Amino acid sequence: MYYFDEIDGKKILKSDLIKNAQAFFTTREICICDKGGNDNKEVKNNLGIIENYLKTKLISPTQTHSANVDIAIENKFEYPDTDGLILTKNNFAIFLNFADCTPLIFYDEKQNIGAISHAGWRGTAQKIAQITAQKLINEYKSNPKNICVLIGPAICGKCYEVGEEVYNKIMDNPHPFPLPKSEGKFNVDLKGINAKQLADIGIEKIDICPYCTCCNNEYFFSYRKDHGTTLRHSAVLKLN
């Protein structure tokens, strides 16, 4: 179940599925990413607030809608072309950035490891959810039954309309919630498809965020609704 909490009076979104790690989504009130390349003072200030709160520094990769998943290393700050980051240490934190695409936060309480990945339509078509989970399972001996996944705020199936080409690429994947389509237009439920991909490899503990970046645009950024905004909300993870 998702609920809003606060850091320094600014809203963040959490789920009670992950209790023994710091896992949350930022909102408009505490934006820590501006893709615009501006020297955004508010973003820098917010980043400081979160670093203070977590008592550690934060690492973020350069996301390119790939299906590349890397392992975060302390004092390494460059992760080019990386849309999934695995965290195995508790002396730093990671974050990835979103505006409509689906954020996925993974956490295995038994092994005390986790990951965040970025599943837009390209990442979803390439099954980045499964690629990330399989790395935890194969390289870090995670049992899929112990992996909790938060499927965070993302554009909902009603709001996410795509053309036929994109639809067909995504639909190579099983689609549990087909939605009615009008002529040449197709609706896609990215959160639902990612949940299905995770269930297909034995992951049972999944919490799907009820908030849509368009329908609930007062809380989150939407690339579509905010007309190509450079601001992002973020998924943040720190191990205990």
- Residue list 152-211, contact with Zn ion (CB under 5 A): 156, 159
Please pick, from the candidates 214, 231, 235, 239, the single residue that binds Zn ion as defined by CB under 5 A: 214
54 binds Zn ion (CB under 5 A): no
Which residue's beta carbon is nearest to the bound Zn ion?
Answer: 212
| Cβ atoms < 10 Å from Cβ of 125 | 19
212 binds Zn ion (CB under 5 A): yes
215 binds Zn ion (CB under 5 A): yes
Complex with Zn ion: residue 109 or 161, whichever CB lies closer = 161
- Pairing mode of beta strands 231-239, 21-26: antiparallel
Q: Considering the complex, what minimum distance in angstroms separates the CB of residue 229 from Zn ion?
A: 16
Which of 15, 214, 215, 224 is CA-nearest to residue 104? Answer: 15
- Residue list 22-41, contact with Zn ion (CB under 5 A): none
Which of 14, 2, 82 is CA-nearest to residue 53? Answer: 14
Complex with Zn ion: residue 171 or 179, whichever CB lies closer = 179
Distance CA 56, CA 220 (A): 25
Complex with Zn ion: residue 114 or 153, whichever CB lies closer = 153
Number of H helices, E strands in the chain: 5, 15
Q: Using CB under 5 A as the criterion, what x/- string covers residues 124-163 for binding Zn ion? A: --------------------------------x--x----
Q: Considering the complex, what minimum distance in angstroms separates the CB of residue 158 from Zn ion?
A: 5
- Whole-angstrom CA distances from 205 to 11, 60, 148, 156 are 25, 25, 5, 21
Complex with Zn ion: residue 72 or 212, whichever CB lies closer = 212
| 107, HSE (Cβ side, Cα atoms, 13 Å) | 24
Q: Considering the complex, what minimum distance in angstroms separates the CB of residue 88 from Zn ion?
A: 35
Complex with Zn ion: residue 118 or 191, whichever CB lies closer = 191
Span from 50-58, 166-174, 177-185, 212-220 in contact with Zn ion (CB under 5 A): 212-220
Structure tokens at 170: 């995504």
Q: Considering the complex, what minimum distance in angstroms separates the CB of residue 160 from Zn ion?
A: 8
Distance CA 13, CA 235 (A): 9
Structure tokens at 151: 């499927």
φ, ψ (nearest 5 deg) of residue 59: -120, 140
Q: Is 8 helix (H, G, I), strand (E, B) or coil?
A: coil
Complex with Zn ion: residue 125 or 214, whichever CB lies closer = 214
* Chain contacts with Zn ion (rule: CB under 5 A): 156, 159, 212, 214-215
